[in-house]
Structure 1
Amino acid sequence: MTGFFSEENSVNAVNARMGVDIDPRLRTVMASLIKHLHAFIKDVELTEEEWGKAIAFLTRTGQMCGDERQEYILLSDVLGASMLVDAINNRRPEGATESTVFGPFHVANAPVRQMGDCISLDGKGEACLFEGRILDLDGQPISGAKLDVWADNAEGFYDVQQPDTQPQWNNRGIFITGDDGRYHFVGAKPVSYPIPDDGPVGKMLAALGRHPYRPAHIHFMITAPGYQKLVTHTFVGGDEYLTSDTVFGVKESLVAPFEKTENSATMWKSKFDFVLAPK
């Protein structure tokens, strides 16, 4: 009888237990999950001890989660799952700026600032002028585009990680483009930093011989009426971790030039144009 469980019949035995009137998408997703999970277990011939360690690892991961930290997001990130889901759900036409992972440090309702303002409220780090244009696929400027930007400070921490030492809204702000589609603001040149590695995900990385670092970057979330929302970073060209980002977030097209300036109010300048895809 096919209803009994066996090593050979494991997938069919489990998937056959699903009800008739369940959500079709849930059926598709769960059937595939069971298929691939059982194939993995059979492929590596997983031992009972190893399966027990896996359950203990997932338990510790859940116990690390709270209002200020989401260890499962870290796990998804370092396994490349976050970037794969992002890639599948953000396919864009040729010429449009590529997306990358949202990250865990965005804060809603950052203050709207005037073009040219400085978002580095603690005054630390090497000052950088960020500038460029928001364009459509035909190269025409987009007026009224909203740029929500956020970045780490000179020590590699976001303000929400250091609420007692960093000013609120440090290295954050929202800018609105005018008719020329241009943006410009001053901030601290980003630095590379490690993801939180004091939990089970960090221990997993160490066991795999992987480092926990992200290359230096600044986040952008750009929206405009009639265009797809763009969530992306620009990365500091020449950073030592560009080809080994622990969350696989780097795309070659997002590596931006950071040029030293002379006789300027800032030490650095980074120019990058963003191209939005229509809805």
Structure 2
Amino acid sequence: MTAPVFGDVLRTWRRRRKFSQLDLAIEADVSARHLSFIETGRSVPSRAMVLKLAEVLDVPPRDRNHLLTAAGLAPVYPERSFDDPELAAVREGVQRVLSAYDPYPCVAVDRCWNLVSANDATAVLLDGVAPALLERPNALRLALHPDGLAPRIKNLGQWRHHLISRLRREVAASGSNELSALLTEVESYPGPAPESPDPSVVAVPLQLCTASGNLLTFLSTVTTFGTALDPTAAELSIEAFLPADESTAAALVCRSASQGSPQ
């Protein structure tokens, strides 16, 4: 009864990864005939087969659970919340990275860009953000909402293009309904049309005006857990905002010293 459902889900992932049936069969070392039978529900896949196909298609752990469930099999990847005791080492690792970046802003976000943690230096980014956006902070809402950072971002058109392009790629790669809804939301925010950056520049900067009128310029870097099997850990991203010029670095160090923050 569940095999045709599994076939539909598998076909969706295969097409998302731009694999033909033959391509997938070759990579998974299975006959194209057997794979066809699996997709049409004429054959019921084993747990090993589901996991092998998921590995070839680079399906994230959480979605591998969905594939197993669609095939009538029990999930194998525990789905825990970030504050689960089993993730203590992950939380400690995240905090070490966040602290190491002080006095530069650094945040940790989940698969839907919700903030799960941030260092003290992130306050320089959040200055003036509407309290409602901080109740359940989402990095994209904070950046692009008119009550968030958007009014203070000097190159908002470029930064919108950068963030929305990233989100579109994530939607295309994951097929997530939550990310798709978030994309629709942030695209609806008022603001300048997304502006493609000059391809000759090294990287797209974030140019942010402070409440005192100073201009801070950042380059961002993203860190992930490269060997994580737990879905929550695998989906975490740590984004640091590093100074792109000497004046920004000096301003952040000075701010940190005045507030007694560790450097």
Larger RCO (CA within 8 A; separation ≥ 6): 1
Relative to total residues, which structure has the larger strand share, 1 or 2? 1
Question: Which TM class, normalised by the smaller chain length?
Answer: under 0.3
Relative to total residues, which structure has the larger helix share, 1 or 2? 2
- With the length of structure 2 as denominator, give the TM-score of the two structures: 0.23
- With the length of structure 1 as denominator, give the TM-score of the two structures: 0.22
